[in-house]
Amino acid sequence: MAVPSGIGKAMKHLDLDGHDLPPSPAPSSPNNGRKYALATELVYTEGSDQYNSSSVPIYQSATFKGGPGQEYDYTRSGNPTRTHLERHMAKIMNANRALVVSSGMGACDVITRILKPGDEVVTGDDLYGGTNRLLTYLKTNGGIIVHHVDTTKLETVKAALSEKTTMVLLETPTNPLIKIVDIAGIAAAAHAANPDAVVSVDNTMMSPYLQNPLDLGADVSYESGTKYLSGHHDLMAGIIGINNAALGDKFYFMINSTGCGLAPFDSWLLLRGVKTLAVRMEKQQTNANAIASFLENHGFKVRYPGLKSHPQYALHWSQARGAGAVLSFETGSISLSERIVEATKLFGISVSFGCVNSLISMPCRMSHASIDPATRKERALPEDIIRLCVGIEDLGDLIDDLSQALVRAGAVKLTQDGFIARNPDDAETGTTKQVVDEP
């Protein structure tokens, strides 16, 4: 079968020792030839096969015949379906090049593999548990110095930066405390401290539909494609977007060397998912906004950048186009939080987010359980925090589900007007402002 026109162009790739490598996906052109609004670009792809197939074929082949000089030889090194996805992702991430790998953590691994013993990393004090786990491993086994600081405070970040800082790793909004980090401010400060510092932003909580870190001065934008990009929790993927060609080549070298490039079928599935990102995200954030207001109006401390009460509301909206669909709130009691989580029906108890169906979780028991309790306490991660990931279901059904769960758990009571009100005096639940249970 002929290689689809428009997919991949042969280019020479040298490995780090200067040897020829099999051809890798070509970087897309600067500015990516974006012609339309983002919602259109998500759907619109150029290049097809000799049959003008509307959906790019799945090149389910490990090898390609032909010998030296051909565009593809082995799927670990490059595959037409993956190339098509990488071109598409580069376009929507405003990147010169995108690389797709087997998971979000795979992307983080590829990026951090450029670190050497003695290098310093500045990162946040609220991070996805898996990212924290990888950084802890690098600190313990790789001789990397990792500074966890409050990245919401530019001065604190500046104090941690130096000419020894080789990487800055940011999340914004952070998972799960939904803290906002000034991408442009930190990128400028990092590059002032060390012009070669690689500023990497984990964009998982926003997706390229809502935020483009490369436009704000980041060197690398990466994310878990397992979340919003795929949208259906049916695949794992990680995406890395870069503008710097040399950095892109280093990352490609790591991907080819370690074999973590995304498989053809998953590449195809992700391409399909990305096409509906705009409609899913719009509906998800409309629902999330309403749910955040509903909870806030009933006395809960809600963390969501769509709420004016968010302490960094203005900063968030200066760098993003929406609030996303993940919010967290506290109840004041671990056992109360557990009862709420167990009482919902539409909100499924599960890790992850960005999916069409709504999810509920207790991060300290689930997504962030790998951060030891002492560190969670030190970093002020509340043990009772509940995270909601809002899907595309009917808003009325979602609010009804949450309402009945809050009532059944004893967190609220129905007033004469039929409204739900907080019930802080409930003796059985003890819903005080303090966390009363031991972790």
Ligand X SMILES: Cc1ncc(COP(=O)(O)O)c(C=O)c1O
Q: Rounded to an integer, what distance in angstroms lies between the CA atom of residue 104 and that of residue 109?
A: 9
Is residue 260 involved in binding ligand X (CB under 6 A)? Answer: no
Is residue 151 involved in binding ligand X (CB under 6 A)? Answer: no
Give the residue, chosen from 80, 124, 238, 410, that forms a contact with ligand X under the rule CB under 6 A.
238
CA-based torsion, 119, 131, 337, 339: positive or negative: negative
**Window contacting ligand X (CB under 6 A); options: 11-19, 24-32, 100-108, 151-159:** 100-108
Give the residue, chosen from 3, 351, 399, 436, that forms a contact with ligand LKTG3HHF under the rule CB under 6 A.
351
Minimum distance of ligand X from residue 329's CB (angstroms):
18
Minimum distance of ligand LKTG3HHF from residue 322's CB (angstroms):
19
Determine whether 81 is exposed, middle or buried from the number of CB atoms within 10 Å of its CB (0-12, 13-18, 19+).
Answer: buried
Give the residue, chosen from 24, 94, 103, 166, that forms a contact with ligand X under the rule CB under 6 A.
103
Q: Rounded to an integer, what distance in angstroms lies between the CA atom of residue 209 and that of residue 55?
A: 22
Window 114-153: contact mask with ligand LKTG3HHF (x via CB under 6 A): --------------x-x-----------------------
Active site residue 202: yes
Active site residue 76: yes
Question: CA of 62: how far to CAs of 23, 157, 239, 264, 266, in Å?
Answer: 15, 45, 21, 9, 14
Give the residue, chosen from 71, 125, 202, 296, that forms a contact with ligand X under the rule CB under 6 A.
202
Q: Which residues contact 256 (CB under 8 A, 6 or more apart)?
A: 21, 22, 24, 76, 77
Catalytic one among 72, 109, 126, 128?
Answer: 128
Minimum distance of ligand X from residue 61's CB (angstroms):
25
Active site residue 280: no
Phi and psi at residue 80, in whole multiples of 5°?
Answer: -60, -35
Residue closest to ligand X when measured from CB atoms: 104
Is residue 173 involved in binding ligand LKTG3HHF (CB under 6 A)? Answer: no
Is the Cβ of residue 134 or residue 160 nearer to ligand LKTG3HHF in the bound state? 134
Q: Rounded to an integer, what distance in angstroms lies between the CA atom of residue 151 and that of residue 187?
A: 12
Three-class SS state of 340? helix
Question: CA of 235: how far to CAs of 101, 107, 229, 264, in Å?
Answer: 12, 15, 10, 12
Give the residue, chosen from 352, 375, 404, 432, that forms a contact with ligand LKTG3HHF under the rule CB under 6 A.
352
Q: Rounded to an integer, what distance in angstroms lies between the CA atom of residue 137 and that of residue 129?
A: 12
Active site residue 227: yes
In the chain, how many H helices and how many E strands?
Answer: 13, 16
Which positions lie near ligand LKTG3HHF, rule CB under 6 A? 128, 130, 175, 351-353, 367, 370
Which positions lie near ligand X, rule CB under 6 A? 103-105, 128, 130-131, 171, 175, 202, 204-205, 224, 226, 236, 238
